[in-house]
């Protein structure tokens, strides 16, 4: 009895420990990410499963650096950039980040609307998009940060559906193990493009800004001591590691689902998440279809607040506005107005002729161009003793950080090359 109670207490403590890292990881698997992973599986079977193993340590290393910057400096990544770097660098990041994040928001809203229409065909997708946008805006403006954080945290449970879907279909476990641990690389345009897309959607600049800023919010909301210590840093690392591993597993199982069900059935072109859900229905049954569709809506509800929150933190810290999800609307009007504007602009993409898939391509290009520069700056900040004191990077973190920098730089080069030829 005591053993069961002890295990229960440990699980409760661990659940309380989880926060920004878990939400950030879950938001990384947004509807636009799901579309990318679905296309990877449909087009190339299990050939890209190994990318989940590669992406996890790189994602975790960068996000832990960003979280530590927030905890140590008591300000977001933009505020640290503003204080310690030339202003042109800050403004370049703003110019590139804002349109990329808005396009990402638009693609996610469109994906959620389309999947809502699949579940309730009598209601047009655009109505669902508008309803989801209004609900999200109302929740973000009227709920305090603690409530928003709790809702986002519990919504992450929805993503467990992706761990179930592949097993509703007969699997060859020997083939899965081989694809997971023995990388397959094809040197053709289509395969390189999907690798770049996977990297772009897993190591995304908006997550860097969100992670640093939301760690500051978390410290305020929990009324933790102002002085950062090793316990706080270790708790953060556990949170981020769990969140990024959760994200990597979701990515793995989506590629596994579409790579076995759709690829083997001859369905090789998936441009949107609703196509992936529809294609699963006749091949793997109603349960797989419904779980996949519900998962898309759940991930969108997690990711969109993170996306619009990120862009609002960027603007607020750049121009010195009052900021924070813990503030009421009248206390931080400009901060919440940016959230509202980014949501409305994202929704408007449904009406001005930019398709979600084109929005994803443009987003990937902009993320691919900005990510290497931001990673380089994050590495510089994280190794600067004047800023970070005793909490500078370890050798292992630097190795992983520089690996991410090299890989993302190569991805940016590939993106440019594929765009101009």
CA angle 42/48/53 to nearest 5° reads: 140
pLDDT tens-place string over residues 178-218: 999 988 888 777 888 788 888 877 888 888 888 888 888 77
pLDDT tens-place string over residues 83-106: 888 888 888 778 778 888 888 888
The model's confidence at residue 153, banded by pLDDT at 50, 70 and 90, is: low
Residue 401 scores a pLDDT above 60: yes
Global pTM reads 0.85
Residue 403 scores a pLDDT above 60: yes
Residue 28 scores a pLDDT above 90: no
Looking at per-residue pLDDT, the higher value among 153 and 216 belongs to 216
Query: Which pLDDT does position 365 carry in this prediction?
Result: 64
Looking at per-residue pLDDT, the higher value among 304 and 146 belongs to 304
d(CA 76, CA 347): 27
Query: Which pLDDT does position 287 carry in this prediction?
Result: 74
Query: Which pLDDT does position 66 carry in this prediction?
Result: 92
d(CA 132, CA 297): 9
The fold of the 27-420 domain, in CATH, is Amino acid/polyamine transporter I (1.20.1740)
CB 43, CB 268: distance < 8 Å: yes
Query: Which pLDDT does position 117 carry in this prediction?
Result: 85
Mean local confidence (pLDDT), 341-365: 75
Share of the chain above pLDDT 70, in %: 83
Residue 33 scores a pLDDT above 90: no
The model's confidence at residue 352, banded by pLDDT at 50, 70 and 90, is: confident
Residue 341 scores a pLDDT above 90: yes
d(CA 65, CA 379): 8
Share of the chain above pLDDT 90, in %: 14
- Which stretch of 37-41, 145-149, 203-207, 391-395 has the lowest confidence by average pLDDT? 145-149
Query: Which pLDDT does position 343 carry in this prediction?
Result: 92
d(CA 84, CA 130): 41
pLDDT tens-place string over residues 222-265: 665 556 777 888 888 888 888 888 888 888 988 988 888 888 88
Query: Which pLDDT does position 359 carry in this prediction?
Result: 67
């Amino acid at each position: 009895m005591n053993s069961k109670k002890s295990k229960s207490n440990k699980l409760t403590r661990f659940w309380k420990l989880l926060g920004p890292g878990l939400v950030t990881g879950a938001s990384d698997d947004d509807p636009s990410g799901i579309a990318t992973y679905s296309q990877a599986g449909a087009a190339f079977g299990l050939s890209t499963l190994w990318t989940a193993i590669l992406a996890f340590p790189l994602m975790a290393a960068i996000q832990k650096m960003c979280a530590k910057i927030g905890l140590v400096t008591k300000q977001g990544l933009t505020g640290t950039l503003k204080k310690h770097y030339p202003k042109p660098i800050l403004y370049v990041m703003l110019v590139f980040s804002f349109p990329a994040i808005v396009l990402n928001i638009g693609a996610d809203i469109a994906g959620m609307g389309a999947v809502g229409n699949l579940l309730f065909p009598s209601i047009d997708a655009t109505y669902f998009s508008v309803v989801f946008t209004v609900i999200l805006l109302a929740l973000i403006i009227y709920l305090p940060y603690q409530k928003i954080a709790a809702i986002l945290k519990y919504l992450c449970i929805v993503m467990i559906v992706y761990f179930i879907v592949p097993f509703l279909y007969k699997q060859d476990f020997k083939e899965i193990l081989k694809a997971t641990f023995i990388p397959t690389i094809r040197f053709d345009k289509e395969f390189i493009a999907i690798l770049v897309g996977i990297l772009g959607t897993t190591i995304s600049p908006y997550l860097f800004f969100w992670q640093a800023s939301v760690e500051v919010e978390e410290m305020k909301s929990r009324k933790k001591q102002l002085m950062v210590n090793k316990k706080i840093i270790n708790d953060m690392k556990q949170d981020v590691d769990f969140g990024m591993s959760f994200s990597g597993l979701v990515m793995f199982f989506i590629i596994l689902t579409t790579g076995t069900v759709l690829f083997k059935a001859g369905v090789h072109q998936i441009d949107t998440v609703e196509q992936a859900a529809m294609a699963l229905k006749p091949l793997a049954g109603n349960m797989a279809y419904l779980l996949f569709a519900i998962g898309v809506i759940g991930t969108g509800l997690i990711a969109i607040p993170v996306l619009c929150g990120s862009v609002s933190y960027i603007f607020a810290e750049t121009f010195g506005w009052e900021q924070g999800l813990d503030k009421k609307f009248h206390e931080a009007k400009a901060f919440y107005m940016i959230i509202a504007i980014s949501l409305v602009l994202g929704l408007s993409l449904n009406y001005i002729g930019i398709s979600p898939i084109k929005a994803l391509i443009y987003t990937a290009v902009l993320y691919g161009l900005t990510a290497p520069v931001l990673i380089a700056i994050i590495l510089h900040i994280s190794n600067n003793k004047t800023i970070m004191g005793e909490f500078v990077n370890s050798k292992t973190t630097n190795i992983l950080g520089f690996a991410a920098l090299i890989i993302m730089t190569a991805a940016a080069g590939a993106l440019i090359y594929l765009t101009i030829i």
